[in-house]
Each structure stands twice: as structure tokens, then as C-alpha cells.
Amino acid sequence: MKIFKSKKKKTVLVCCGTGCLANNSLEIYKELKRKAEISGINVKIRPAVKATGCNGLCEKGPIVKIYPDDIFYCNVKVSDVDEIIDRTIKNDEVIDRLLYLDTSTGKRVKSHKDSKFYGKQTKIVLRNIGEVDPASIEDYIERGGYQALKKALSDLSPGDVISEIKKSGLRGRGGAGYPTGSKWEQCDKANNFPKYVVCNGDEGDPGAFMDRSIMEGDPHSVIEGMLICAYAVRAEQGYAYIRDEYSLAIENMSKAIEQAKKRGFLGSNILNKGFNFDIQIVRGGGAFVCGESTALMSSIEGNVGEPRIKYIHSTERGLWEHPTVLNNVETWANVPVIIDKGAEWFNSIGTERSKGTKVFSLVGKVNNTGLIEVPMGMTLKEIIFDIGGGIPGSKKFKAVQTGGPSGGCIPESLVDLKVDFDSLDEAGSMMGSGGMIVMDEDTCMVEVARYYLNFLSEESCGKCVPCREGIKRMLGIVDGICSGRGQEEDIDLLFELSETIKEASLCGLGKTAPNPVITTIKYFREEYLEHIINKRCPAGTCKELINYYIDEDICKGCGLCQKNCPSGAISGQLKSKYTIDISKCAKCGVCRDVCKFKAVKIKGGVAK
Amino acid sequence: MSSGKTQEIFSYTSSILKEYPREQRFLLAILQDIQKQYNYLPREALTIIHEYLDIPMSKLYSMATFYKALSLKPKGKYVIKVCDGTACHIRGSSLIIDEIQKLLNISPGDTTEDGLFSLETVNCLGSCALAPVMVVNGKYFGKVTPKMVKKIIDEFGGQNSEDI
């Protein structure tokens, strides 16, 4: 048992990001706070208990951190609270059982910084998340918050700010990677007032939740970024468009705006410099296409979110036909740090044409699911295997999907690819907003393509015929392939449709919609052919092409599969061999998951 | 609809409208507030909004059908949201959806006849570490298996329960 001594006031941070909240972390927070209040009578120094934003390692949540001793507890339960108070808070003992277990070394580590998951990360955007109470502007200021705003307003001209952002090489984190400084410059040159500054918080890519975590965990960094831009382009009104589903993000951003107003960081005559700026929150309506900048502006105006043609930039004629700078949440959060530490510092991180870091949500078939931030140029291998801890259940890594529905699947053969805007483009995928979905040998790539087509066919706004009808046609074809009705000419037809949709759609949704299909055919053509010619799904995913059966040689007759089968399709006697009635089987795979002997197997071929 | 109910909708909608200036840009926010209260957009409410903002009914209909957060059909007492984001999908969310469809006999987007359950699929709740995830009226269930579905539904009164 390790014992440490610290005389300083302790701070207990309880992660209340969405992942941990879903694992009951609010109860832990309340209980810790209650117990800390009571025990305050006996303890000399009463600890401060704070609820923070997402720590990133959602897989191991709920997470509790204790400062100044830098102890990192994971998978904490309400029943652990007493022990944490008694042993760690009162007696300075570390509870080994709750420490993070580094699977690669088999050792438990006291501080999160000692783990590979955190050790390999560089936190710029996520600098405060998990460390501050998002509801407290004091916490943010204590960590250097609003210093950049003061610096900009006192020492820099609007032109200086723009050239600093240009020099930094910051590119938009929303997906396309447009240079942020150039965007601001264009808006600055437009001489039509009022101008607007917009935050795109309509994060819609499935499997991506970095923007939500930033707005929830460090809302002031977004506000400060918008303020600095508003000063640079001489805008007085800002809008933060946030997905309606993100209730906690809306709540925390609203609180932060109120606090900033009280402190004189927002409103009129900010910091007595004669600069006025205000931010209003607009709740999104749950339409994926509203993540597209012109559709988003249309939605703020109170219309349906249909994109418009972009031969005139939004920086000249955007919201209500006025010059508008629209950036994504993560881009905004980068801005204060760049102004504070300087363009050169930022420029030293990353690759030739992609500077700084990128936040990814590392999800899917990976051990350490969560939110990570790495310098541009880190290889996929380092991200997935070092930080992500590899694939669960000793399965084989198959592919990683980046860029959401606009991106593509990158196969195992490209695992040494250095991740930045350009390298992902070259591989046929894209950076997108930063979803990184890891797939293993059990994931069928044709089915993944089908999934994205289905998503896009539902989310197409319907304005352009090639997108609206073309995606549906592609979905029909891929659906057919997944259910054993595929024909050899289907692949050519898919390419042909892809070309048309790319060429003839107005906005990014349509222009990139075929990417998941094109990349999966490019890298996994064999798998398509297997479905089409042999009517087999090698990954064992496509229901119409598989059957479950129990291998008699392996079955020990424990009956667990029968007990767990929701369809009542398994029959047999204890200690004898069990069998699956194919006519009743719903192919849900529960039996395969519960069998301890791996006796349940999948047979390819068309179901009879 | 009874006149009492109509009256109630009228006064609630009017109270919401008072909070917003007469500008089109607040239309989505107004509709969301009404949706939150009733779980759908009652026609009576739309009529009042149409008069207040001087926006044609056709436009309100277009908004209501475009945005997923809005609906013209009443939703059930319990709204089951199954996450079908990519992470949940590759960890088997479609099997969860199948199981719920089988148990409640409704497709995504529908409501059971007794008005108890609505089934919806959503694109990513950002809780990918818990994949697959389902949420019933804000309560999260993580790492759901088809086997767990019946238990979860039963917790909310189930399809055969009588204590509704």
C-alpha cells in the first residue's frame, strides 16, 4: 500500500462527461460532496469536490481524480466513496484496486499521465477539460483563460490577430480543413456591416463527440475564440448553433455566456476597450445537413436547413446576406491558445501542411474507447494500438473509418499512415470532424457501406436530385449485395452512380456521399465479390447470408446458450449436445457471445 | 379534441410566444418549445404560431417535417431511443432494434397502439464507450444485448403490463 503525504488542500474531480454520467457519475459526485461535507468536521482540510467535463477515457468511467496528489481512479462506484474519503482523503493512502491498469505492462499506474492512453497525447484543445468545473468561470481564468482576449484587445490590432492566425497555419476542424486565417481575412475585407461570427456546434457525424465534450467541459474556450475573431473582423453579434440533443452542452454554454457577461467579457465596451460582442444560442433541429455551413445559416434564419450554392462565400454574404465567419467548435477552442502562446509555437506542432493537434473520438472495436488529442502526423498504428490499447478479445484489426459518412475506410495495410488532412484525403478518406471508428474481423465492410448509405439517404435534404435519388439507388444495390441478390455488374454501376452524385450535388453531403462505398470497394473488393458470387459474408455479419450452428465436437452441454436465446431457437438437454433450429433463429448472436467454449459458429451461404 | 384541451394548448402556446419577438428566426425555437411540452406539434398550436409570425401553414409543415426534433404525430409516454451511430452499429445495435420491433410490434418512428412506447433510432448519442446504447426517457442503458431488451421494456410497464 502506497502512502503519500500532502498538506495542501485536496481537490476531488469527478468526471461528469456524457459517458461517465451514463455510468452514474452524478451519484458519485453527490455522495462524495455529501460525505466530504460531513467529514469536514474531522479533517483539517475540507476537500473541494468538483464535477468536470469528459476526461476522454470513457471506457473506464466513471473517473475520479484527486489533486494535488494526482491520483487517477477509474470504474469508481458509489460504494467506493466511503473508502475514497476514509483512505485517500483523510489518510493519504492510494487505493490500488481503483487505479488504471495498463494492459501492456500489467501494472497499475497512480497518475493518468503514466498511462499510455494519456502519455502519448498532446492536449491543446482539451487543455482544461477534466481539470476545470465547466460551470465556473473562475476555474477557467485561473488556468489562464481570457488572457488571450486581453492580449488581443490591448496589444494587437485586428489585422495583427488575423495575421497571427494565418501564420499559425490553423485549418478548420469541421471537416474540410479550410485555412482559418484566410477565412477571417476575407470577412475582414468585406465592407458590409453588421457582420456575424457563428459557432458550428451541430456535430452530426455518428461516432464523433469531440465538439460536445468541448462545449460541455470547457465552454469558455469556445466563447473566447469567438470573441477574438469578432474583434478581428469587427463583428458585434455571434451565434452558437448547438444540436438539440446535446442538452448538457446547451446548458453549460448558456451558463458560460451569462458568466462572461457578468465579468465584462461579453456585452458592450468589453474590458473598457470600446468593443461590443454578444453571443446567442440557437438550438439545432436534428438535421444532419445543418452541419453544412450554408444550411446551418439558413436554419438560424428560421428556415429549413437547405444548403445554397457557394459561388459567393459566406464571408461576403452569409447569415442574412451579411459577411459571416463560421467555424467549428474545435477550431474556436484552438484560437485563444494560439493568440496566447503565439503562432510559432503552434506552428511547431504537427506536419508540413497540417498544424497543431486533432481531437478524435476513438470508438468501435478498440479497448480504450474515448476522446483523444494527438499531434497531426501521428500514425494510425500509434493511435489505435498505443493509445487505444488495440482490439478487444484478441481479434484481428481490419480497418478504421474516419471522416464520418463523408469519409472512408482505411485498411490494415495502411496502418502506418501518418494522420493529417492531406494523407487521409490521399487514402480516399478525409479528416472530417474526427470520428475514428475501429473495425475488427467481425465487421463486414459491405454492411458498413450499406450503413452509411442508409444514414445519408435519410439525411439528404432532398434539394438535389442526384443526391436524393442517387444515394437511394446505391443503397438499393448494396442492400441487394448484403442479402445475396448481388450481381457482378453491380460494382460498375455503383461507380457510375458515384461519379454522378459527386459531380452534380450542391453541398458536401452529396459530393462526399459515395466515399464510404468507393473506399470499401477499393480496399475490400474481395469481400464484395464473396457476397456477390459465392453469396457468403466472410465477416459473418449479413444476416441473410449466414446461419448459426453449434459445433458438436466442442459443445459441453452447459445450456447457457439455450438460457440466453431470446427466440427460443435452441434445444437440447444438459450435458448433451445442443442444436439451433434455423427456422426460429433470429440470428442475434447472443448464443455466440455467451458460449464459453466458442462452440457456436457461423456458416456462410444463403439461408434456407 | 375537447375544447378544454384546445383552450389549454391555446394558452400555453400564447405564453411561449410572449417570450419571443415577432421574428421568423425564432420559429424553430418556438416549435421546439411546443414539441417539448406536448411531445408533438398540435394543429391548434401551429395555427396560433402561423397568425403570430405571419408565416404560412405550408411553411410550418415544411419545418415540422424537415427537422427530426419535431413531429406531427403524438409520441408515446416512453420514448425509446436506440443509438444507431457507427460505433453502436458495429457493436450490434440493429439486433437491439430488431428485438424491440419484435416485442412491441412497431417500427422505428412508430408508437404502440396503447400510446405507451415510441421507438426511434438516433445517430450517435456520443456515448460510444457504452455501445450499443439505448435510452428510455433520458435513462441510459449501456452495452445492451438483445437478451436485456425485454427486461428494460418491462421496467417501463412492458407490453403486457396492466399497471399503466
Residue in chain A nearest B150 by alpha carbon: A566
Give the Cα separation of A406 and A452 in Å (integer).
Answer: 9
Q: Is residue B71 part of a domain?
A: no
Task: Fill in the amino acid letter for A280.
Answer: Q
> Which residue in A287, A302, A305 is closest to B24 by CB distance?
A302
What is the pLDDT at residue B86?
Answer: 87
Interface of A with B in 372-411 (CB under 8 A): 401, 404
User: Which grid cell is B49?
Assistant: 404560431
What is the pLDDT at residue A153?
Answer: 97
Question: Per the CB < 8 Å rule, is B89 touching A593?
Answer: no
In terms of Cβ atoms closer than 10 Å to its own Cβ (0-12, 13-18, 19+), residue A90 is middle
pLDDT at A564 over 90: no
> Which DSSP letter does residue A393 get?
G
Order of all β-strands in the sheet with B139-141? B117-122, B78-83, B134-136, B139-141
Distance from CA of B3 to the nearest CA of A (A): 30
Q: Is residue B73 part of a domain?
A: no
- Are B58 and B100 in the same domain? no
Residue B64 forms contact with A (CB below 8 Å): no
Query: How long, in residues, is chain A?
Result: 608
In a 3-state reduction of DSSP, which class is residue A24? coil
Give the Cα separation of A199 and A330 in Å (integer).
Answer: 10
What is the pLDDT at residue A4?
Answer: 54
Lowest mean pLDDT of A274-283, B43-52, B70-79, B124-133, name the range.
B124-133
Give the Cα separation of A479 and B134 in Å (integer).
Answer: 25
Q: Beta strands A546-550 and A600-604: pairing type?
A: antiparallel
Lowest mean pLDDT of A199-208, A351-360, A477-486, name the range.
A199-208
CATH number at residue B126: 3.40.30.10
Average pLDDT over chain B reads 89
Count of A-B CB contacts under 8 Å: 145
Task: Fill in the amino acid letter for B160.
Answer: N
Q: How confident is the model at residue A43 (pLDDT cuts 50, 70, 90)?
A: low
What is the pLDDT at residue A41?
Answer: 47
User: Which grid cell is B15?
Assistant: 405564453
Lowest mean pLDDT of A163-177, A225-239, A314-328, A591-605, name the range.
A591-605
Residue range(s) defining the domain that contains residue B12: 3-66
Residue B131 forms contact with A (CB below 8 Å): yes
pLDDT at A413 over 70: yes
- Domain final position from B31, B66, B101: B66
pLDDT at B115 over 70: yes
Distance from CA of A460 to the nearest CA of B (A): 10
Q: How confident is the model at residue B164 (pLDDT cuts 50, 70, 90)?
A: very low
Residue B79 forms contact with A (CB below 8 Å): no
> Which DSSP letter does residue A321 get?
G
- Are B136 and B157 in the same domain? yes
- Mean pLDDT on A406-429: 94
What is the pLDDT at residue B26?
Answer: 95
- A401 neighbourhood in chain B, CB within 8 Å: 86
User: Which grid cell is A290?
Assistant: 445543418
- Mean pLDDT on A390-408: 92
Question: Per the CB < 8 Å rule, is A590 touching B146?
Answer: yes
In a 3-state reduction of DSSP, which class is residue A481? helix
What is the pLDDT at residue A128?
Answer: 94
What is the pLDDT at residue A36?
Answer: 81
Lowest mean pLDDT of A306-310, B33-37, B104-108, name the range.
A306-310
Question: Per the CB < 8 Å rule, is B95 touching A589?
Answer: yes
Chain A contact probe: residue of B22, B26, B28 with most A CBs at under 10 A: B28
pLDDT at A607 over 50: no
Q: Is residue B146 part of a domain?
A: yes
Question: Per the CB < 8 Å rule, is A285 touching B149?
Answer: no
- Domain final position from B38, B66, B94: B66
- A15 neighbourhood in chain B, CB within 8 Å: none
Q: Is residue B72 part of a domain?
A: no
- Mean pLDDT on B118-142: 87
- B81 neighbourhood in chain A, CB within 8 Å: none
b/e code B125-163 from CB counts within 10 Å (16+ = b): bbbbbbbbbbbbeeebbbebbbbbbbebbeebbbeeeee
Q: How confident is the model at residue A188 (pLDDT cuts 50, 70, 90)?
A: very high
Lowest mean pLDDT of A17-21, A61-65, B12-16, name the range.
A17-21
- Mean pLDDT on A325-334: 97
Q: Give the torsion through C-alpha atoms of A377, A381, A387, A392, to 10 deg.
A: 150
What is the pLDDT at residue A115?
Answer: 85
Give A318's contacts (C-beta < 8 A, 6+ positions apart).
A196, A198, A293, A294, A297, A324, A326
Q: Is residue B15 part of a domain?
A: yes
Q: How confident is the model at residue B138 (pLDDT cuts 50, 70, 90)?
A: confident
What is the pLDDT at residue A465?
Answer: 95
- Mean pLDDT on A101-116: 84
Q: Is residue B126 part of a domain?
A: yes
Average pLDDT over chain A reads 91
Lowest mean pLDDT of A4-13, A201-210, A324-333, B31-40, name the range.
A4-13
Q: Residue A37's CB: how many other CB atoms inside 10 A?
A: 12
Interface of A with B in 564-603 (CB under 8 A): 564, 566, 586, 588-590, 593
Q: How confident is the model at residue A90 (pLDDT cuts 50, 70, 90)?
A: confident
pLDDT at A588 over 70: yes
Residue A287 forms contact with B (CB below 8 Å): yes
3-state secondary structure chain B: CCHHHHHHHHHHHHHHHHCCCCCHHHHHHHHHHHHHHHCCCCHHHHHHHHHHHCCCHHHHHHHHHHCCCCCCCCCCCEEEEEECCHHHHHCCHHHHHHHHHHHHCCCCCCECCCCCEEEEEECCCCCHHHCCCEEECCEEECCCCHHHHHHHHHHCCCCCCCCC
Give the Cα separation of A373 and A211 in Å (integer).
Answer: 12
Give the Cα separation of A172 and A190 in Å (integer).
Answer: 20
Q: Beta strands A11-15 and A64-67: pairing type?
A: antiparallel
What is the pLDDT at residue A116?
Answer: 85
Question: Per the CB < 8 Å rule, is A208 touching B63?
Answer: no
- Are B38 and B110 in the same domain? no
Question: Per the CB < 8 Å rule, is B130 touching A564?
Answer: no
What is the pLDDT at residue A312?
Answer: 87
Interface of A with B in 59-118 (CB under 8 A): 59, 61
- Are B52 and B87 in the same domain? no
Question: Per the CB < 8 Å rule, is A286 touching B69?
Answer: yes
- Are B62 and B129 in the same domain? no
Q: Give the bridge partners for A482, in sequence order.
A: none
- Are B53 and B91 in the same domain? no
> Which residue in B66, B89, B131 is closest to A287 by CB distance?
B66
Distance from CA of A207 to the nearest CA of B (A): 5
Question: Per the CB < 8 Å rule, is B126 touching A439?
Answer: no
- A66 close to A94: Cβ distance less than 8 angstroms: no
Q: How confident is the model at residue B5 (pLDDT cuts 50, 70, 90)?
A: confident
> Which DSSP letter does residue A6 get?
-
Strand locations in A418-485 (E)? 435-440
pLDDT at A5 over 60: no
- Are B94 and B53 in the same domain? no
Residue A540 forms contact with B (CB below 8 Å): no
Distance from CA of A5 to the nearest CA of B (A): 35
Q: How confident is the model at residue A1 (pLDDT cuts 50, 70, 90)?
A: very low
- Mean pLDDT on A440-451: 94
In terms of Cβ atoms closer than 10 Å to its own Cβ (0-12, 13-18, 19+), residue A211 is buried
Q: Is residue B134 part of a domain?
A: yes
In terms of Cβ atoms closer than 10 Å to its own Cβ (0-12, 13-18, 19+), residue A572 is middle
- Are B55 and B83 in the same domain? no
ipTM entry: 0.88
pLDDT at B123 over 90: no
Q: Is residue B33 part of a domain?
A: yes
- B89 neighbourhood in chain A, CB within 8 Å: 206, 451
- Domain final position from B45, B66, B87: B66
- Are B150 and B85 in the same domain? yes
- Are B61 and B94 in the same domain? no
- B129 close to A59: Cβ distance less than 8 angstroms: yes
- Are B88 and B113 in the same domain? yes
What is the pLDDT at residue A122?
Answer: 94
User: Which grid cell is A168?
Assistant: 499559425
Q: How confident is the model at residue B162 (pLDDT cuts 50, 70, 90)?
A: very low
- B27 neighbourhood in chain A, CB within 8 Å: 302
Residue in chain B nearest A212 by alpha carbon: B126
Lowest mean pLDDT of A101-110, A236-245, A470-479, A505-514, name the range.
A101-110
> Which DSSP letter does residue A196 get?
E
Distance from CA of A521 to the nearest CA of B (A): 19
What is the pLDDT at residue A289?
Answer: 92
Residue in chain A nearest B140 by alpha carbon: A22
Q: How confident is the model at residue A586 (pLDDT cuts 50, 70, 90)?
A: confident
Residue B32 forms contact with A (CB below 8 Å): yes
Q: How confident is the model at residue A21 (pLDDT cuts 50, 70, 90)?
A: confident
pLDDT at A101 over 60: yes
- Are B89 and B147 in the same domain? yes
Please give the tally of structural domains in chain B.
2
pLDDT at A275 over 60: yes
Q: Give the torsion through C-alpha atoms of A299, A301, A303, A309, to 10 deg.
A: -70
